[in-house]
Structure 1
Amino acid sequence: MKVSWRYLRIAVQLLCLGGFVLLFVLTEYRGKDQLAYPVSLLFRIDPLAALADALAPGSFGWSLLWPALLVVLLTFVLGRFFCGWICPLGTTLDGLGRVVGRGRGPVSAGWRRCKYYLLIFLVAAGFFGLQLFGLFDPLAIFLRTLTLSLYPAWNLIANGVFDRLYQNPVPFVSPLADRIYPFVDTYLLSFHPPAFTLAVLTLLVFFAIIALEKIERRFWCKNLCPLGALFGLCARHALLRREPVAPCADCSACLQQCRSGAVTDAGHRGGECLVCLDCEGFCPQGRVRWAWGRPRAGRGVNLSRRGLLTSLAAGMVLAPVAGVTPAVWQRHSYLLRPPGAVAEKEFQQRCIRCGECMKVCIGGALHPALLDAGPTGLWTPVLVPRIGYCEYNCTLCGQVCPTGAIRPLSLEEKHKTVIGIAVFDKNRCIPFARGEECLVCEEHCPTGEKAIVFDVRPVQVGDEERLVKLPRVVRRLCIGCGICETRCPVEGISPVRVTNEGESRRPFDPWA
């Protein structure tokens, strides 16, 4: 039974990782505007996502995030089981740690406090209006890396291989590829070839976390993960207990081999234990066992007063300083958010930076922000019309958002939701600047009654005066979908650009 616990845990880890990857693959347009599965389940069980939602303005999203509260309650009973058995980033570190090599460790015990200081800082900042959980949430990091980096690379490689086999047939291989491709294209490839602006940066962050394995096994989980710190606080008095508490005097096997460093000379630290149950297999005498019992007094987190006050003060000061900067749309008129996004301040407080909306966007319009939305908006979704457009009959981004940062919209609501308004630069637009007709923007405008119309007027071209159809935006009809900017044939910056003026999420805009 001792050995079977280890294999059972590995099987559960792989099953959970495969399940999350499957949900990720299902987060895709497959011909229908309604997703049949709860593809955002990974974040519905995420306590940090629930904490971010609780600290944001408005009511708590019970209907979406109640599973996260259930995970917290189970942690009080089972300990940090999520870290050892379910977390996809933890499973990835367990697997890739063997590839990159693991440090001999352990590092100084003081590093263990860092994750608690980080959690305190994030909670303090969130309480005062600055939500940064998504930057450090392991589940957001995992899914963000899949969305922005690995999935686009997979699509590029897969399409390249099938194209090469089609163009240069290989005996036996090409016929087999022809049979496989319909399945791969339907279920494993994206609706359009994805490409995102922060793909390299996102991958470098992921690589850095993996590289920390060279210092110590599960360095991220032990020392830096704020979700692990939250679970650690809940697990200190868990009902599932290790016996004996301290390592035996005649043996130190579990002391040396514990992956989480929870077994120490002073006793077992329940808040650090990942409940992997491997210590039963390490014990040569079979003395270690896990059993149910009454909660017992555990060792405290042992945070220094200076560190605690510094973390609190940093969060309390940074949040209001970030909050008194000018409104983003006053500094950046081309900042566009997805349709259904709540007001900007609340949006940044609710968005967990998971990338689900970017993954599911049909038109490839949503991309992660760098400094577009200010330094506090890193990795939040912005709509970039020159790269892609918001599909008129698509409501998927609101369906997958796990925290309500993007409200789910019906198709009728979507058609009336204004993201912004298109504006023409007459110095670069072909009809205005060259006196030549161009109908592209009007042809692609998707609104029932065209939001772009033409006025026939004379234009002076050299010594000749021509009657040319000049495009004009009908303000009351334009919703700012951006397809005119995407399809404009002028190279470089488009002469028709969508600004965030009049967006629906600003009901008090005097120009609306």
Structure 2
Amino acid sequence: MLRKIRLAFATLCFALITLLFLDFTGMLHGWFGWLAKIQFLPAVLALNVGVVLFLVILTLICGRVYCSVICPLGVLQDVMAWIGRKFKKRKKLPYSYSPAISWLRYGMLGIFIIALVAGFSSLAALLAPYSSYGRIANNFFQPLWQWSNNLLAYFAERAGSYAFYETDVWLKSWSTFIIAVATFVVLAVLAGRNGRTYCNTICPVGTVLGFLSRYSFFRIMIEPDKCNECSLCARNCKAACIDIKEHKVDASRCVTCMNCIDKCSHGAISYTTPKKVPKQMNETRRRFFTVTALVAVNSVLKAQKKKGDGGLATIEDKKIPERSTPIVPPGSLGIRHLTQHCTACQLCVSVCPNQVLRPSADLMKLMQPEMAYERGYCRPECTKCSEVCPAGAIRPITKADKSSIQIGHAVWAKKNCIPLTDGMECGNCARHCPVAAIQMVPSSPEDENSPKIPVVNVERCIGCGACENLCPARPFSAIYVEGHERHRIV
């Protein structure tokens, strides 16, 4: 029963992940795109702490079910192993126990980590399971899918139906195609002959999860009293991790496929918790769980201070520009009115959902609200601060009122603008301006093909800060907002 449940979930995950690579309409990603985000390595590189913690906890409880259910390359190897058995002369007895090659496993993991840290992403991609499957799906499965679609479109058109439409099938990269072919062939040979050899010798994710699964709460256990040493379990174990002579299962290599349970007719194998654990092992496990918990808590805290793009490239914090006039919230009428009425209770600061308001450090306006856009911008649909102010320093306004209140205007800083400094097209400020106050024009009026730069319509700009916040220039934005002493209606 457990094996059938595992097969059902594995088939569903494999099919949906594969369809994400095959889908040329873009419809499936809205529904099942999360399956790509729960892959272990992408989650680690994206610093997606929630997913990583989920997979770690799942492994500590259930063992390496990730490798046999969620990982598409792991499921593909199972398919290859099943096909390989069909071509074996001794179909019923294809596998045998082999000791773990720890030096190779941890050596490959070390090479993988060094490649990531040193920036050799191509080498890391060669070893990464999800990347490997992506290349195979993109170069093998996708063309077959598209050709099948085009064939259906051909017959549908002649039948007077346009339910299908033709798509272009083309080779995106010869080098990638060759690597995909080599990867597929190596996996087919290894899986067809020895099952999960790749998972337990090369795969860095398998090595990490294998280390964790040594301490898993549930695992495959053999009861010596019931075992008659028929070896059916060992000879059907794709991970080659069952030592029938010692009645032991190597939990670090076991992918919890449940094949052994299905084959044992004496009920000697079960998926359960260890009944008798040596005191030293208990102490080791306790220390491991303690360290894991501390690391998990620390990771959650550190995630709020993310400094890397995917954990690889450094992201420089934005800095607040030197404004000649500070910016105060819509509804405050201006700096003077706010200063006269504000009690600095900071209720408005606490309810600001966009992290735009913060207490001022100016001695003349100490702790009164001031606006800055390095963490967010003042969205036109938000009126929270005007709703909560108890002193009338920020008067109640509607969403329609806010879209017409000019609290400042954008100013372009030529020296920071990416089209001029890096020679790259940008236009982020113009695309995201909610009132269309910014237009991109050629930097040289005589040359229409010159890099385009922003021009601000000061009369239309409301000073919301979307341009400043979303500008990719670091540490100072190439466009920033100057406040107005008195707010205007535009």
Q: What is the TM-score when the length of structure 1 is the normalising length?
A: 0.50
Q: CA deviation at 1:454?
A: 9.6
Superposition pairs of residues 171-320 of structure 1, within 5 angstroms: 174-175=158-159, 178-179=160-161, 181-182=162-163, 184-185=164-165, 195-197=171-173, 198-204=175-181, 205-244=183-222, 248=227, 250-264=229-243, 265-266=245-246, 267-293=248-274, 296=277
Superposition pairs of residues 74-473 of structure 1, within 5 angstroms: 74-101=58-85, 104=94, 106=96, 109=99, 111=101, 113-127=103-117, 130-131=120-121, 132-159=123-150, 162-163=153-154, 166=157, 174-175=158-159, 178-179=160-161, 181-182=162-163, 184-185=164-165, 195-197=171-173, 198-204=175-181, 205-244=183-222, 248=227, 250-264=229-243, 265-266=245-246, 267-293=248-274, 296=277, 349=312, 421=423, 451=442, 473=449
Q: Deviations over 1:417-454 (max 9, x none)?
A: 7596489xxxxxxxxxxxxxxxxxxxxxxx96565999
Say if 1:451 and 1:91 are closer, same or farther in 2 by CA, change over 3 A.
same
Describe the SS at the equivalent of 2:312.
helix
**Counterparts of 1:350 and 1:298 in 2: how far apart (Å)?**
45
Point out the structure with max Rg over C-alpha: 2
Tell me if the contact between 1:453 and 1:472 (Cα under 8 Å) persists in the aligned partners: yes
**Counterparts of 1:225 and 1:72 in 2: how far apart (Å)?**
17
Q: CA deviation at 1:250?
A: 4.2
Say if 1:274 and 1:164 are closer, same or farther in 2 by CA, change over 3 A.
same
Q: Deviations over 1:384-404 (max 9, x none)?
A: xxxxxxxxxxxxxxxxxxxxx
1:474 equivalent to 2:450? Answer yes
**Counterparts of 2:235 and 2:30 in 1: how far apart (Å)?**
47
Describe the SS at the equivalent of 1:91.
helix
State the AA in 2 paired with 1:259.
Answer: K
Superposition pairs of residues 16-55 of structure 1, within 5 angstroms: 16-25=13-22, 28-29=25-26, 36-37=30-31, 39=33, 41-53=34-46
Q: Deviations over 1:32-54 (max 9, x none)?
A: xx963451x2342223233334x
Q: Deviations over 1:25-80 (max 9, x none)?
A: 557446xxx963451x2342223233334xxxxxx444xxx223201111011111
Q: CA deviation at 1:97?
A: 2.9
Say if 1:217 and 1:35 are closer, same or farther in 2 by CA, change over 3 A.
closer
Describe the SS at the equivalent of 1:272.
coil
State the AA in 2 paired with 1:162.
Answer: A
Describe the SS at the equivalent of 2:452.
coil
**Counterparts of 2:258 and 2:279 in 1: how far apart (Å)?**
18
Say if 1:453 and 1:25 are closer, same or farther in 2 by CA, change over 3 A.
farther
Tell me if the contact between 2:6 and 2:69 (Cα under 8 Å) persists in the aligned partners: yes
2:292 counterpart residue number: none
1:9 equivalent to 2:6? Answer yes
Describe the SS at the equivalent of 1:36.
helix
2:353 counterpart residue number: none
State the AA in 2 paired with 1:232.
Answer: G
State the AA in 2 paired with 1:224.
Answer: I
**Counterparts of 1:299 and 1:12 in 2: how far apart (Å)?**
36
Say if 1:8 and 1:298 are closer, same or farther in 2 by CA, change over 3 A.
farther
Gaps of 5+ in 1: 54-59, 167-173, 301-342, 352-415, 424-446, 456-470, 479-503
**Counterparts of 2:82 and 2:260 in 1: how far apart (Å)?**
19
Q: CA deviation at 1:127?
A: 4.4
Say if 1:347 and 1:288 are closer, same or farther in 2 by CA, change over 3 A.
closer
Describe the SS at the equivalent of 1:215.
helix
**Counterparts of 2:23 and 2:209 in 1: how far apart (Å)?**
29
Tell me if the contact between 1:149 and 1:199 (Cα under 8 Å) persists in the aligned partners: no
State the AA in 1 paired with 2:53.
Answer: L
Say if 1:112 and 1:350 are closer, same or farther in 2 by CA, change over 3 A.
farther
Q: Deviations over 1:294-326 (max 9, x none)?
A: 7946999xxxxxxxxxxxxxxxxxxxxxxxxxx
**Counterparts of 1:346 and 1:224 in 2: how far apart (Å)?**
27
User: How large is the Cα RMSD of the aligned pairs?
Assistant: 4.4
2:432 counterpart residue number: none
Q: Deviations over 1:207-233 (max 9, x none)?
A: 322232243122212322111111100
Q: RCO greater where, 1 or 2, for CA within 8 Å and sep 6 or more?
A: 1
Q: CA deviation at 1:136?
A: 1.6
Tell me if the contact between 1:232 and 1:271 (Cα under 8 Å) persists in the aligned partners: yes
Tell me if the contact between 1:76 and 1:234 (Cα under 8 Å) persists in the aligned partners: yes
Q: Deviations over 1:123-154 (max 9, x none)?
A: 24434555554332212211232234431443
Describe the SS at the equivalent of 2:194.
coil
Q: CA deviation at 1:270?
A: 0.8
**Counterparts of 1:67 and 1:12 in 2: how far apart (Å)?**
18
Tell me if the contact between 1:237 and 1:295 (Cα under 8 Å) persists in the aligned partners: no
**Counterparts of 1:252 and 1:51 in 2: how far apart (Å)?**
39
Describe the SS at the equivalent of 1:109.
coil
Q: Deviations over 1:103-141 (max 9, x none)?
A: 755586354642332112222443455555433221221
Gaps of 5+ in 2: 89-93, 282-306, 315-416, 426-437, 455-470, 477-490
**Counterparts of 1:74 and 1:126 in 2: how far apart (Å)?**
25
Describe the SS at the equivalent of 2:83.
helix
Q: What is the TM-score when the length of structure 2 is the normalising length?
A: 0.52
Q: Deviations over 1:241-263 (max 9, x none)?
A: 33326693543221222221121
Tell me if the contact between 1:80 and 1:232 (Cα under 8 Å) persists in the aligned partners: yes
Tell me if the contact between 2:10 and 2:75 (Cα under 8 Å) persists in the aligned partners: yes
**Counterparts of 2:84 and 2:439 in 1: how far apart (Å)?**
56
Say if 1:47 and 1:35 are closer, same or farther in 2 by CA, change over 3 A.
closer
State the AA in 2 paired with 1:20.
Answer: I
**Counterparts of 1:16 and 1:99 in 2: how far apart (Å)?**
20
